[in-house]
Amino acid sequence: MPDPTRVNETKIVAVVNQKGGVGKTTTTINLAAAMVAEGLRVLIIDLDPQGNASTGLGIDASDRELTTYELLLDDVALGDVIQDTQTEGLCIVPATVDLSSADIELMANEKRSFLLHDALRQPLMDDYHFDYILIDCPPSLNLLTVNAMVAAHSVLVPLQSEFFALEGLSQLMLTIREVRQTANPDLRIEGVVLTMFDARNNLSQQVENDARDNLGDLVFQTKIPRNVRVSEAPSYAMPVLDYDPTSKGAIAYRDLAREVIAKNAKLAA
Residue-level pLDDT at 203 = 87
CA distance 111 to 157: 26
Give a yes or no: residue 1 inside a domain: no
Per-residue pLDDT of 200-221, as tens digits, reads 888 889 889 989 998 999 999 9
Residues spanned by the domain of 215: 7-268
pLDDT above 70 as % of the chain: 96
Mean pLDDT of the chain: 90
Residues of the chain with pLDDT > 90, as a percent, come to 70
> DSSP of 109-146, one letter per residue?
-TTTTTHHHHHTT-GGGGGT--SEEEEE--SS-SHHHH
Structurally, how many domains does the chain consist of? 1
Count of H helices and E strands in the chain? 12, 8
pTM of the predicted structure, to 2 decimals: 0.93
For residue range 13-50, list pLDDT tens digits in order. Answer: 999 998 888 889 999 999 999 999 999 999 999 999 99
> CATH no. for residue 48?
3.40.50.300
Region 191-207 average pLDDT: 90
Contact yes or no for 159/19 (Cβ under 8 A): no
2 within some domain: no
198 in a structural domain: yes
pLDDT in tens, 103-120: 888 888 888 899 999 999
**Residue 253 within any structural domain of the chain:** yes
Query: Measuring CA to CA, which residue among 261, 245, 230 is closest to residue 38?
Result: 261
pLDDT interval class at 124 (50, 70, 90) = low
pLDDT tens digits, residue range 220-266?
Answer: 999 999 999 999 999 999 999 999 999 999 999 999 999 999 999 88
DSSP class of 178: H
In the predicted model, is pLDDT for residue 142 greater than 70?
Answer: yes
Confidence tier at 164 by pLDDT (50, 70, 90): confident
The DSSP element (H or E) to which 196 belongs, if any, is strand 188-197
At 83, the amino acid letter reads Q
